[in-house]
Chain A
């Protein structure tokens, strides 16, 4: 449920607008194809998670298969990807909360001029506030988060199904004609942009140690959440494009779903306007997704710290709070910087890029372990091996290539920083 929680969570609310802006009505295909591509990696996660009982997700698997340096890079990338995903959800929260307040009649100042630049004060401030709030919560208590995740996920799915249910009657198929307003080639960059919406496998694998009868249930959980996620996404995007049209969705950006809802939702008893309900869903989802990734990023940092791969005591559990305090604080700083200074589609691209690269490594880990450790017991085996891991690698690399060079530059900067730190640390240990 945690994995599905993060996946279904905010991805759909925040990314539908971006996908529509890039690919037009074909945004529906974008989510479908992304579902197919992640399925290749999903089976790899299933095989590894069933065979290697370690918490820490993709990082733990890569650590088992590859050299310490590569596994460090894997952890370093995942950590960053979660932090940046957190920034994305925080931005989504801010904008959607402003929309929600607008629907219930509270208006915040839209933009303010700060020197030469105009800043959307209300939304950005709200984004920063939620980052501080959730990071604070996660820094001070290890058990505060994660408990109500199942319920939260069900509420999110229910709200999305209500949206899709009412919207289905308002869909104008004319909005899908022509399907490729931006050209068929626009699918690939849009897929790269929204890939982050499918990050949940790693989260499922991160918490595997807490599942009953895990060798059987983890592969199942991964399969079910993939199918459920793709179905819900397709319904929602189909309705959103069908009612509002791709152009207006794109213009609405991270509040696209709430905008679409405003067009057709009837007035509901108790909650008032149906659009308010959907906007509330968006706010709610982004908070829970943000919480999930803050938790995930601190778990990755903790796993790295325990393996002595993170210097400066970053992964060390604080003696009083029981959490990797320093890692959480660093996560917060990165999230805040990203929220404040990086445009939303670049944030999304950056996180997607790192997830793509880490998925390449996970597929690679499957292949390497099959070759080097044929006798490792694998309670779940990928069918038609090596078809899916190879396809997974090819597709993930292909999508990565369509991501902006500027984003690659930012990514390389982070990797270089990590690699330099790692080598210095290693040298320190040798002498």
Chain B
């Protein structure tokens, strides 16, 4: 069981608190707006501290000593960074900050333990949903993106063995629905395959598979 402090009880903060509470972690939310504070109390997923998370006097009321992680999830990256740096000075906690621009996560690498971009996560989920799982992007890892791509009926790779297909350099079929593919694995139309793709070959390779 972890103890997590969330600064910023907006939609992202509340949704995060709910997920953590569901799995049995103990959550404290710091929220500045009095009306929102009351709403959060009614949700009954976390204790709520009313105040500004960048104010040391407020942050001292969440008992950082016993806290495992602080997630700064307000809409202002500057505020979030300040909260993380302040928390790190006070106690040995893992710090997570919210950023607003997709791709901005790496800029804060040296300063916080992790940066998340809810907009990007939302975009990934939306792409999966609008394409009805034809293409399902997973989180981008360092320089390589992973996504499930379904083989279209008239795709150029449909019905071919993997050895017959010339994938671009920097593209790899990691897994299929039936398991890890071998040379002679046939790419069955209608089934999805997990592709690992370097940035330059994403469009080209997904096109090969989707048709």
Contact = CB atoms under 8 A, between A and B. Distances in A.
B44 A375 contact: no
B48 A376 contact: yes
A214 interface: yes
A363 B101 CA distance: 47
Interface stretch (B33-41, B108-116, B178-186, B191-199): B33-41
A306 B24 contact: yes
A373 B37 contact: no
Interface string B62-82: 110010000000000000000
A348 interface: no
B3 to A, nearest CB: 9
A241 to B, nearest CB: 43
A54 B1 CA distance: 12
Contacts of B88: none
**B interface, over-half SS:** mixed
A379 to B, nearest CB: 5
B1 A306 contact: yes
A68 B1 CA distance: 14
Contacts of B38: 377, 379
A372 interface: yes
B47 A51 contact: yes
A398 interface: no
Given A214-B44, A215-B41, A307-B1, A54 B26 contact: yes
A377 B41 contact: yes
A375 B61 contact: yes
A357 B75 CA distance: 46
A213 interface: yes
A376 B41 contact: no
A68 to B, nearest CB: 8
A52 interface: yes
Interface string A304-315: 001100000000
A377 to B, nearest CB: 4
B50 A375 contact: yes
Nearest to B55: A375
A379 B47 contact: no
B21 interface: yes
A374 interface: yes
A296 to B, nearest CB: 18
Interface in A340-372: 372
B117 to A, nearest CB: 29
Given A215-B42, A372-B61, A377-B41, A53 B21 contact: yes
A64 interface: yes
Contacts of B66: 68
Contacts of A68: 66
Contacts of B40: 377
Nearest to A308: B1
A161 B183 CA distance: 80
Contacts of B51: 375
Interface in B15-53: 21, 24, 26, 37-38, 40-42, 44-51
Contacts of B126: none
A62 B62 CA distance: 15
Contacts of A53: 21, 44-47
B200 to A, nearest CB: 47
Best-surrounded residue of A50, A53, A64, A214 (most CB of chain B within 10 A): A53
B58 interface: yes
Nearest to B27: A53
B1 A377 contact: no
Best-surrounded residue of A51, A215, A376 (most CB of chain B within 10 A): A376
B61 A377 contact: no
Given A54-B26, A306-B1, A307-B1, A373 B45 contact: no
Interface in A6-56: 50-54
Given A376-B61, A377-B38, 13 more contacts: A51-B47, A53-B45, A54-B26, A214-B44, A306-B24, A373-B62, A374-B61, A375-B49, A376-B47, A377-B47, A377-B48, A377-B50, A379-B41
A-B interface, 3 closest residue pairs, ranked by CB to CB distance from nearest: A377-B48, A373-B61, A53-B44
Interface of A: 50-54, 64, 68, 209, 213-215, 306-307, 372-377, 379
14 contacts: A53-B44, A53-B46, A64-B63, A215-B42, A215-B44, A306-B1, A307-B1, A375-B51, A375-B58, A376-B47, A376-B49, A376-B50, A377-B41, A377-B50
Interface of B: 1, 21, 24, 26, 37-38, 40-42, 44-51, 58, 61-63, 66
